[in-house]
Structure 1
Amino acid sequence: MHVPDGFIDAPVSLAAGAVAATSVAVALRGARREHGGTSHASSYGGDRTAPLAGLVAAFVFAVQMLNFPVAAGTSGHLLGGALAAILVGPWTGVLCISVVLLMQGVLFADGGLTALGVNISVMAVVTTVVAYAIFRPLVKLLPRRRPSVTAAAFVAALVSVPAAAAAFTLLYALGGTTDVPVGTVFTAMVGVHTLIGLGEAAITALTVGAVIAVRPDLVYGAQGLARPLELRTPEGAVIEPVVSTAAPRSARRIGAVGLVAALALAGFVSYYASTSPDGLEKVAHDKGIDSKAEDHAAKDSPLADYQVEDVGDERISGGLAGVIGVGATLAVGTGVFVVVRRRRAAEASRASSASSGSSAETA
């Protein structure tokens, strides 16, 4: 659903850019709270969350390269907002998808540069906020079991995709550069993206379920799911908690597995992805929305269209581009979240110092 330059006029694109910038600024503050936990197995947060968030961004980048068929001549791909929000938190999720969109726009000429604010608003903010707004109440209503989290993730991801399509339609209604009726755009966009949402939901549920199966404490949306076993009397009184002596699977090992999976998906599996136009491209072509589309400012980038310049073999070229993209997204994403984590630690240190000073003065 990457919106190219020329679909939305300049005033609305600028307004969407302001919304995106404000959302990212708010998300940076929110992400500090999400990264402020401890490293205990029973809670989410701590030093491990920065590399985990960077890995989620890289994984989303890789999976977005895997277009899957949804109808005759139409494909779809993961948007990733629901997945990121559930794995690392909604605020951190907004930042993850924003990093992915930035890398795609700057390095790979995927999604217009003047439309970057539109893409972040639609694909990062709307999908993440809508998905988590649905996921959280569902998790509270359903039994506190792993299948419940997976089921809630499925529903949240399913709804988030047509919600993003509706958001694009709203922006088109405000500043579309063509005269296609808004009702026509809405029906076509929401219809095809509901089908794409099924694929999004399946990928999200499978990924969340896989991580929960081995380390539920690494999943933000599963906080409190992993609780120590307890011995109880027949009357129900707790005798003592049962502390498992088995060491949990290393977060680094799981991170390594996730990185290898992302590299394999982007570097190898992506070659077999559907080559049909995605939902927005298909609707834009069929309805005439793309009649005023503009060439991407980075169309001559050495990585444009996910191909490495001067590499003759298409499979090798695309695979190298995917690996480079995963590496770049991982580096930028991890860097952003390391800064967020350090600022959170600095704020906590200042607060602790102020509290100590106040206590000393009182004494």
Structure 2
Amino acid sequence: MHVPDGFIDLPVSAATGVVAAAAVAVGLRGARRELDERTAPLAGLVAAFIFAVQMLNFPVAAGTSGHLLGGALAAILVGPYTGILCVSVVLLMQAVLFADGGLTALGVNITDMAVVTTVVAYALFRGLVTILPRTRRSVTAASFAAALVSVPAAALAFTGLYAIGGTSDVPLGETLTAMVGVHLLIGIGEAAITALTVGAVIAVRPDLVHGARGLTAPLKLRVGGELVDAAPAAPAVAPARPTRTVWAAGLAAAVVLAGFVSFYASADPDGLEKVAADQGIDKKAEEHHTAGSPLADYGVKDISDARISGGLAGVIGVGATVAVGSGVFWAVRRRRTATASGGTASVPPETA
């Protein structure tokens, strides 16, 4: 759903740029509360993994494909504030290095794909885990539902932005129906990927999943005919489990997905591209400002073999995203540590 330049006029693009900048600023501040010594190293990996999986377009209808947006996945794994930053890093890398998503439309894309998806998904996720049994299966099921809803929500948000600042005169009712309809189908794929990934991480390291914190319900005892919380048992003494193995496995998976599996991704236009062509939204689409860059369109310039060119571009993208993302989150974590050591009370991490 990467919006190119020319779809949305400059005033609305500028306004969403302000919204996106404010959201990133809030995300930077909120991420200080979410990131700790265990999760900070993994936030950059989450961004790189989302970048890799976004290269895997999957067919959803005749002549139409979809790909992961990633807001729900990021929010559940590392928290909503950090999740906004993760997807924003991905969108920045895609726009600057790969000419995917317009530069003047970067605010639109961050607002739609990073902010809307993350906020909608995490709000629904938190609501579901509050009323469902506090189990790992419930977290996985809530992840599925949250991701499913987040994609048509982003489609609805784009249609609203186009109604305000669209550059072509198109029937908005038909556009809304087409956008929400096709992205509801894409949402099923998003939900499956999100639930499988969250479930896999919970199975190995539930302590690293932000949305799975506090799963264990307190033991209840019946005293005088009433149920009361039992005193918490002393935790078993066990060595802290390093995150290096998880980090290495996740990075290897991202490299394999972007460098090899992406060659087999669907070549059909994604949901926005298909609707834009059918409804005439793309009449005033502009060529990307970095269309001549060495990595434009996810290929390495001057390498004729499509498999090698695309795979190498994917690996470069994963490396660049994990480097930039890790740098951002390391700086955020360092700022929190510096603030705490300077005598300012830091806000404790959010608990589920």
TM-score (structure 2 length as normaliser): 0.93
- Residues 316/234 of structure 1: CA separation in 2 closer, same or farther (3 Å cut): farther
Deviations 1:88-135 (A, max 9, x none): 000000000000000000000000000000000000000000000100
Deviation larger for 190-199 or 233-242: 233-242
- Partner of 2:342, secondary structure, is helix
**Residues 90, 240 of structure 1: CA spacing in aligned structure 2 closer, same or farther, 3 A cutoff?**
closer
Separation in 2, partners of 1:23, 1:353: 24
Q: Distance in 2 between matches of 1:351 and 1:134?
A: 36
Q: In 2, distance between residues paired with 1:183 and 1:240?
A: 56
Q: Provide the C-alpha distance between the structure 1 equivalents of 2:137 and 2:238, rounded to a whole number of angstroms.
A: 23
1:322 aligns with 2:308: no
Instruction: Return 5+ residue gaps in structure 2 as ranges.
Output: 347-352
* TM alignment of 1:289-304, pairs within 5 A: 289-304=281-296
Cα distance change, pair 353–268 in 1 and its aligned pair in 2 (3 A): closer
Deviation at 1:233, TM superposition (A): 10
Three-state SS of the structure 2 residue aligned to 1:241 is coil
Mapped contact 1:77–1:200 kept (Cα < 8 A): yes
Q: Partner of 1:30 in structure 2?
A: 30
Give the deviation of 1:351 after TM superposition: 2.5
Q: Does 1:306 align with 2:308?
A: no
> Match for 1:95: what amino acid?
L
C-alpha contact 1:233 1:239 (8 A) present in aligned 2: no
Tell me how far 1:6 sits from its aligned partner.
0.3
1:230-241 matches, cutoff 5 A:
241=233
One-letter code of the match for 2:257?
L
The two structures, once aligned, show a CA RMSD in angstroms of 2.1
- Counterparts of 2:19 and 2:47 in 1: how far apart (Å)? 21
Secondary structure in 1 matching 2:60: strand
Structure 1 residue 256, shift from structure 2 partner: 0.7
CA contact (8 A) 2:134 2:216 kept: no
Name the structure 2 match of 1:270.
Answer: 262
Indicate which of 43, 49, 52 corresponds to 1:59: 49
Q: Does 1:74 align with 2:73?
A: no
2:105: which partner in 1?
A: 115
SS at match of 1:328: helix
* Structure 2 counterpart of 1:268, one-letter code: F
Are 2:174 and 1:188 aligned? no
Separation in 2 of the partners of 1:63 and 1:290?
26
CA shift in 2, pair 1:352/1:288, >3 Å? closer
1:261 aligns with 2:253: yes
Counterpart residue number, 1:8: 8
Q: Distance in 1 between matches of 2:232 and 2:268?
A: 59
The change in CA–CA distance for 1:157 and 1:292 in structure 2 (over 3 A counts) is: same
1:348 Cα offset (Å) = 1.1
Contact conserved, 1:231 with 1:242, CA < 8 A, in 2?
Answer: no
Alpha-carbon shift at residue 250 of structure 1 (Å) = 3.3
Distance 2:24 2:345 in 1: 29
**Counterpart amino acid of 1:170?**
G
Give the structure 2 partner of residue 168 of structure 1. Answer: 158
Map of 2:84 onto structure 1: 94
Q: Percent identity?
A: 73
Q: How many residues align?
A: 343
Look up the match of 2:342.
350
Relative to structure 1, the CA distance from residue 353 to residue 86 in structure 2 (aligned partners, 3 Å threshold; closer, same or farther) is closer
CA shift for structure 1 position 241: 2.9
CA contact (8 A) 1:231 1:239 kept: no
Assess if the C-alpha contact under 8 Å between 1:54 and 1:329 holds in 2: yes
Q: Which moved more, 1:67-76 or 1:175-184?
A: 175-184
SS in 1 for 2:141: helix
Per-residue CA deviations over 1:221-276 (Å, capped at 9, x if unaligned) read 01112579x79899999587375566675311011110000000000000000000
Instruction: Note closer, same or farther for the CA distance 1:247–1:179 as it changes in structure 2 (3 Å cut).
Output: same
The amino acid across from 1:256 in the alignment is A
Which residue identity is paired with 2:100? D
